[in-house]
Structures are given as C-alpha cells and as structure tokens.
Structure 1
C-alpha cells in the first residue's frame, strides 16, 4: 500500500510539473500531452522505475481515456460540422483508408513492415482527436475556420477506425450479429440525444442549476453517470468502450450547448483536464518500452517509414478541400490529422491479444504513434507560424 501511495504521489507530481515545462522554453515548446507522456516514460518501469502502469494506476489510466473521449465528444458541435466540412471529412477518411490499404500491402509484400495489412491500415488512418482538442484549445485554433475544418476530419479519424475495429477486428461474434449490436447501441445513443435536446429546452435543466453552487453538483454527477452508462452499454454490446465514452460526450454536449451549460462544462473540464486525463497520458508514457526503438537495426527505418506513411495517408485528403483550405494551411492540416496514438494502442492490443500481431511489430506501430504525438503538432504549429510571418 505504501508503494501505491508513493506511485500516486509521483504521478500527481508529474501532472503538476508538466504544465510548467510545457511553457518553457518557449522556443521549443511542446504540447502539454507530449510533456506528460515524456515524463511518464521517465518515471515508468523501463527507465527510473518509480511507478508501474498496473493495478489501480492502470485503472485510473483507463478512466482517463474514457473521460478524454467524453470531453472530445462534448467539444464537438454537430451544428457546425454539417454540410461541406462533414462531407469532406467522410470522403477524406475513405480516401485515406484506400491509400493505407494499398501502401500496407506493398510494404508487407516487400518485408519492410511485417504487420497484418488491415490492422496497420486502420492504425495509419487514425487521428488522435482527444489529443488534438486540448492542443487546439490552448493555441486558440479550435474556433477558427481552420479548426472548423480540422475537427470534423479528426473526428472521422476516430469514427472510421472505430467502426472498422468493431466490425472486423474484434472476433467475438459473427459480423451480422456484431452489426446488429452496433445498430442497437446507435439507437440507444440517438434516444439519449433526443432526450438531451428536450432537457436543454425544458425547465428541468434550470431546476438542476442551483445544485451547481452546492455540494450536490447534480449536473456533474448526471454527466458522469451518462458516461458510465454508455460505456457499460458499449461493453455489453461487445463494442469498444471508446465508442460509449465518445457518444456520451456528444449527448452531454447536446444537453449543455449554449450559455446555460457553460458552468457545467467548466466543472467537467476541471475534473477531466485537472485530474483523470493527465493520468491517462502519463500512464501511456509509462507503458512505452523505449528499448523497442533499438531492438533491431531495421526498427528505426520502420518507424521513419510509418511516420512518413502517416503524413502521406492522412495528408492526401487536403487536396479535396480546394479553396476552403488555403495553400499555407495544407501542410499543418496534414500534420495535425496524422497525429495518432490512442486508437493505435487499441489496434495493437487487439492484434497482440488475438495472436495476429507479434509484440515487436506492435512496438514499432506504437513507437510511430508516440513520436507522432511529440512531433507532428509542433511541426504543424511552426508551419502555421512561418506561413503567417511569425517567429519560429
């Protein structure tokens, strides 16, 4: 028990130090999530050994992941995603998936990356929306025209791979039965969304509001209950819990849209970004085995090749946007959408647990995903600054 208390203290210390390090030095500023993961690697069992991502610590990390996807769903404004931005995002993801399948069959055939082509292609088409949203918020980019095009594209980088994972990569039921489970879950989520919209327009939300200033905090508790409910239903329907957390966030977002829900959003921000979400990124860093980067002479080449493929696969759709996306924003757009990690973790876990992917292959994919989180948002921000004549 004393060891657990010490580990929790170390994680809390890292979470408190990370925002300070993210602000300094300004010339080489990294996203706070990248700092949290780097510090997680440092304190993890593969380096200093001050904490282990098992037991209660691992459980807190999983709660952090579900709350992260919940907060991402909360941020998405479906009203702003309708029309051209959404259709471009959907078409762009299918283009990315087609290119990824061709690329992975080729690199698999020549022996450069020995991973199941479908799994690797799904990993290449992911976008870490949960990582990008806090970065874009901190940069003030989320509500710009660039952000309004980027968020739907990144959201499809979560939705598309989740559907493929649920239908093709989780062999718990037949495809037909699994499809029925997905339909059933979607029906439940739509019913919850319908109720959320009507609650927003009723006097019920006002009746709950007075508890926000007391120890009751009823709206916060209801939001967390909704998240737990849809996560449990997703697991019951043999879907990934990420599905449930994301859907819960979108439903809560419908209920709290507008000024009336501002206080609730601030409180959920405090719970998520002040507590659970940093633990997820720190724990993910702790799980990363840095020795995988030099386990074989071919590994650095494979990681570099995967990083290039991430940018190529997720960057190809920028040409669909035409005049909506200025020339100067296309490279940053490609870097942002190529940032992926949480779903890469899920894909590799499924591959390893099912025996379809060897541990060393999974480590290569994870290495590329980890480096993309460290590198691509910084490159995107610097590219946008240079394009606008800012200092680099």
Structure 2
C-alpha cells in the first residue's frame, strides 16, 4: 500500500504549486517561480511539512525526464536549420561562450577562496557554467503572444534560439559528463600524458555519436516514427500512440544511459525522434504535456524548492569586514553569477544580431531582453550535479550551490519582465521616406 504521508505530500505539492503558479502568471512571471515558492513554503525553510525522501526523489526525476522529452518534441531541427539556423546559432554560441566563461570563472574563484580542491572546484565551475548557458524564452513568448505578435522577426528568432540553445546545452552536458566519467574511472591518478589521449578519444567518439544521432533524426527519425506509430494507430486509438511514445522515451533513455550519455539526454533525443511524426502536434505533445505538466514537472519544481536552504547562503563562510561583520561567499557567488549571466546573455544577443546584419537596433534589444531569464533547464543540470560525484562524498552540486542556482532563476524571472517592458516602450521609427512632390522629405513617423 502507498504511504499516507507520500499521498499527502503529493496532494499538498500539486495544490500549492498550481495555486501559486497561477498567481504569479497573473503578473507575467513564469509558473515555475510559483511552483518553487510552493516547495519553499512547504519545505524545511518555512512550514516544514515536507522533507526530502526517496519516493519524492523518484517523482522529481521523472519530472526531469518528461521536461527533456517535451523539449525534444518541440525541437524541429530540420525546419530551424532551414529558417534561422545561422542567426540563432551565432546568438547561442556567442552568448553561451560569454556566460560559460564568466559564470565558471566566478564559481572557480569562490571555490578556491572557500579552500576547496582546485580540480573539484574546476569541475564544479564547468558544470555550473554549462547549466547557466540555458535560456528561458517563456517570458518573451508570453509578452509577444499578449501583443498578438507571432510573426515578427523577434518571435521567429526566439523560437529558433530556443531550439539551438537546448541542443547546444545538451551537447555540452554530454561531453562534460563523459570527461567526468573518464576522470572518475582513472581516480584522478592517471598520468596527464595518458589521460589526455583517453579523454580526446572519448570526446571524439561522443561527438561523432551526437552528430550522427542528429543527422539520423533529421533524415530518418520522422520516417521511422511514422512506421512505428502507424502500426499502433491501426485501431485508430490515441492510447496506443501514447503508449508507444512512452516506450520510445524509456527505451532511448535507457540506451543513452548505457552509452554513458545519461538518461536525461536520451529523453531529449527520444522526443526529437518523435517530433518528425504527423502525430506529434495533434496527439503526442498535447497528452504528454498534460501528463508532464499536470503531475511530474510541478512536483520537480516544487521539490526543488523543498531542497533549497537560503539560510545556508547567508550563514556560510564569509569575508570578514569591519565591525565583526562579513560578506558571505555564497552571496558573492549569487551576485556575481546574476550580473555575469544576464549581462553575458544580452551581450551575446547584441553581438550575434550585429554579425548577422538582419536586425534593426530595437529588434536586437527586444531579443536580448527576452533572453535574460535563466532557463528551467538549469535546475535539471543542477539536479544531475547532485548525483554526480567527483570523489566519495563530493557531489558537484552541493545544497548551497543548488540554492544559489534556484535563487538565480527566481530573481532573473522577476527582473526580465521589467527589462522587456523597457525595450518595448521604445519607439520604432520607419526610415525617412523619399522626397515628396514639393521637394521636401516627409518626417519620420513613430509606429
């Protein structure tokens, strides 16, 4: 029989997450912020009704799987490459490079100041840098949808960046986990002259595997999915299609884990395979989203809040200043990451738009502000980091780091609407028209 405490926990998490999610959405803030606050309210930081447990761990991990599967279902690689691949890729790569360097550098510096082992701090910094390259387009999409604008250059670019950003982050994560696995197998004792060739060969094979899989998805994934789903649809029952979709999810996730790419990456790739199916938008995505966002994903975000402890950020080691007071290291880390990530994302967009030459200044600003929000995928990477150990009793993501990342998502979600409103408040001007019949130029008109 099921434990009554578990049933009560699920009831409270879903009820509070839904209520607070709807509440914050009324103010233009993503629902995940409300769901995280629900966990904070129910967890040890506030009411103390819910505490971390193995059953909730399992349900939260299922939420990660469904999030990545849904992301894959939304990834139409072929159409993105045909449409805005060049611009989106430039924005993604430049922005990710800036964010990675800044966030990894800040994290490494704080880790060293805390007295951590250098290589442990380096691995931790790289994982956090990868996690923070993810961008949330939820607020930007919502703002444009409220304006009734789904066909502008800004909207199309945001859609393309959402895809390229997800693919790029997944590839970085896969390569990083492969490196960590190689280091763990060698126990960090293998001579550098032997370790680097092993690492190079492993990364090269992984790169070929990822590229090969993407090519397979683009060329054959849709056809294979059509055949499989066509067989299950002979009886014209949507249930058979959903069952087969879930079979594909867990089969590819299991295969990915066996290949040491982690099951999360497999879940994304499973969604990408099914994205080419004619049943994807009409049958699979709506029902998978209903299941994921109705149960597992809210539990994941709320459980994230349960695991957070902001008190540890302020009560940890600090830099002493006058009067016996000190500045907590984790507070410095939070401020440094917030400024570096949001600033890096904006600079990456402006540089990418400038290089593409296809955007007017006000469009670049609107794209830049729409991509300031740190993505929910950051929490997925953080959760993975809690399960990846550099050495015994040394998880890459500690409770303090986990809390910092969660707070970054909350604060960036609150700040982004302000910057978007400022960008859209600026007047747009049409170019000066040719001379009128009287020989004078017409004045510029604001739109």
Normalization by structure 1: what TM-score? 0.80
Task: Provide the rounded CA distance (Å) in 2 between the counterparts of 1:146 and 1:235.
Answer: 37
Quick one: distance in 2 between partners of 1:96 and 1:39?
Answer: 32
Match of 1:212 among 221, 237, 241: 237
Q: 1: distance between equivalents of 2:312 and 2:145?
A: 32
**Aligned-pair CA distance for 1:103:** 3.3
1:250 to 260, 267, 272: 272
> Does residue 234 of structure 1 match 2:259?
no
CA–CA distance in 2 between the matches of 1:133 and 1:67? 23
Q: List aligned pairs for 1:31-110, cutoff 5 A.
A: 31-83=30-82, 85-100=84-99, 102-103=101-102, 107=106
Q: CA deviation at 1:161?
A: 3.3
Contact 1:45/1:286 (8 A) holds in 2: yes
Pair member with larger Rg: 2
Structure with greater proportional helix content: 1
Identify if the C-alpha distance between structure 1 residues 105 and 223 changes in structure 2 by more than 3 Å, giving closer, same or farther.
closer
Give the corresponding residue for 1:308: 339
* 1:203-242 deviations in Å (ceiling 9; x for gaps): 96387065436xxx00111111111111111111111322
Deviations 1:275-312 (A, max 9, x none): 22222211222222121342342333331221111112
| Structure 1, gaps ≥5 residues long | none
> Which of residues 223, 232, 236 in structure 2 aligns to 1:198?
223
Note closer, same or farther for the CA distance 1:289–1:106 as it changes in structure 2 (3 Å cut): closer
Kept in 2, the 8 Å contact 1:7–1:52? The answer is no
CA spacing shift, 1:198–1:80, aligned 2, 3 Å: closer
**Equivalent residue, structure 2, for 1:375:** 414
Q: How does 1:281-292 map to 2 (within 5 A)?
A: 281-292=301-312
Report how far residue 81 of structure 1 moved: 1.0
Specify the alignment match of 1:279 in structure 2. 299
User: CA 1:111–1:283 in structure 2 vs 1: closer, same or farther (change >3 Å)?
Assistant: closer
Structure 1 residues 292-301 or 191-200, which shifts more?
Answer: 191-200
Is there any run of 5+ residues in structure 2 with no aligned partner, and where?
A: 114-120, 183-197, 317-326, 429-447
Give me the whole-angstrom Cα distance separating, in 2, the residues matched to 1:33 and 1:11. 13
RMSD: 3.7
Tell me by how many angstroms 1:166 deviates: 2.4
Aligned to 1:266: 286
1:17 to 13, 16, 19: 19
State how far apart, in whole Å, the 2-side matches of 1:108 and 1:206 are. 51
Partner of 2:362: 328
Partners of 2:247 and 2:204 in 1: CA distance: 26
Aligned match for 1:162, one of 153, 159, 170: 170
Q: TM-score, normalised by structure 2?
A: 0.72
Count of residues paired in the alignment: 380
